[in-house]
């Protein structure tokens, strides 16, 4: 990890503006991941593998509507949730380091619907990872419930629980609060504030900006207004506002989009 948040100059932005989405994610992640921990060649391979199951050739697609409004389609992953973008990479990163260190972990996830299925798809079949997902019975859409309960893999364990997603978070927090227990069983989670997820989600904003901005040679750079429908604000928290003030408000507008189950 860098000692301070990287700041990007105009020349870097210009170079990044022509990259594919996977290449952009690679460049962005390489600013934060020490090449001694993960060589850039390995990083690129993991990211390409993570996005290999996406249905759209560009992984992420910007649809241009009327009056300067654009919609960034984040739903081309396996489960149709925007979380597939970051979760698929997080799963690849985890497997890489676990194999390198010959360790095993158990991921514990509570879900209100889309997090559970996305987390499952990111690590299904991984030999160094078991995943336990708690889903609130009767409170997820049918398709979300089926996405979680029909995965037949030895490392996937899904349990229906009573109460809503906020209520099921309590026992999960209690488990992690028992430090000795969590350490003994190598427990971790993949929630909205997991750094690997936030890191990958930063690419949404850069990619969208490059699609909306006419040129990186304009001075000052044009601004883009971003509207993010969000629950826990994990996606919103990834907006690199401090490093790139152009992503604030302007005449160009963009809406992040995912299915409404």
DSSP string, 118-179: HHHHHHTT-TTEEEEEEEETTSS-HHHHHHHHT---TTEEEEEESS-HHHHHHHHHHHHH-H
Q: CA-CA distance, 203 to 156, in Å (whole number)?
A: 29
Look at residue 9 in the predicted model and tell me its pLDDT. 86
Classified as helix, coil or strand, 198 is helix
Look at residue 66 in the predicted model and tell me its pLDDT. 86
Look at residue 7 in the predicted model and tell me its pLDDT. 81
Look at residue 84 in the predicted model and tell me its pLDDT. 95
CA 82 to chain CA centroid, Å, is 7
Look at residue 246 in the predicted model and tell me its pLDDT. 42
> Token pair for residue 106?
């158990």
Q: CA-CA distance, 63 to 158, in Å (whole number)?
A: 36
Q: Which of these is catalytic: 41, 44, 83, 184? A: 83
Look at residue 16 in the predicted model and tell me its pLDDT. 95
Look at residue 248 in the predicted model and tell me its pLDDT. 41
Given a contact cutoff of 8 angstroms between Cβ atoms, the answer to whether 256 and 229 are in contact is yes
Look at residue 218 in the predicted model and tell me its pLDDT. 83
Domains of the chain by range and CATH?
10-81+195-257 (no CATH), 84-188 (3.40.50.1100)
Between the alpha carbon of residue 178 and those of residues 161, 166, 182, 184, 191, the distances in Å are 21, 19, 6, 10, 18
Look at residue 198 in the predicted model and tell me its pLDDT. 86
Using the structure block, give the residue that is written with the tokens 């609060």: 177
Q: CA-CA distance, 86 to 201, in Å (whole number)?
A: 6
Q: CA-CA distance, 208 to 151, in Å (whole number)?
A: 33
Whether residue 100 lies in the annotated active site: no
User: Residues in the chain with pLDDT < 50?
Assistant: 242-251, 260-261
């Amino acid at each position: 990890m860098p000692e301070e948040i990287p700041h990007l100059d105009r020349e870097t932005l210009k170079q990044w503006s022509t990259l594919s989405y996977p290449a952009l994610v690679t460049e962005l992640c390489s600013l934060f991941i020490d090449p001694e921990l993960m060589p850039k060649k390995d990083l690129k391979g993991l990211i390409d593998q993570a996005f290999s199951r996406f249905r759209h050739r560009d992984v992420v697609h910007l649809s241009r509507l009327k009056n300067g409004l654009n919609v960034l389609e984040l739903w081309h992953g396996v489960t149709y949730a925007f979380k597939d973008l970051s979760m698929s990479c997080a799963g690849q990163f985890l497997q890489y380091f676990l194999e390198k260190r010959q360790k095993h972990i158990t991921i514990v996830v509570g879900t209100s619907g889309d997090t559970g299925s996305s987390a499952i798809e990111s690590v299904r079949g991984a030999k160094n990872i078991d995943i336990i997902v708690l889903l609130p019975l009767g409170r997820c859409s049918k398709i979300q419930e089926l996405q979680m309960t029909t995965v037949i893999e030895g490392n996937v364990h899904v349990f229906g629980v009573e109460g809503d997603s906020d209520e099921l978070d309590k026992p999960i927090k209690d488990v992690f609060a028992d430090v000795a227990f969590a350490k003994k069983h190598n427990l971790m989670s993949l929630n909205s504030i997991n750094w690997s997820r936030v890191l990958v989600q930063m690419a949404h904003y850069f990619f969208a900006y490059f699609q909306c901005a006419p040129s990186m040679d304009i001075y000052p750079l044009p601004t883009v207004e971003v509207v993010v429908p969000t629950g826990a604000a994990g996606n919103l928290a990834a907006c690199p506002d401090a490093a790139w003030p152009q992503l604030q408000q302007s005449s160009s507008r963009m809406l992040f989009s995912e299915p409404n189950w």
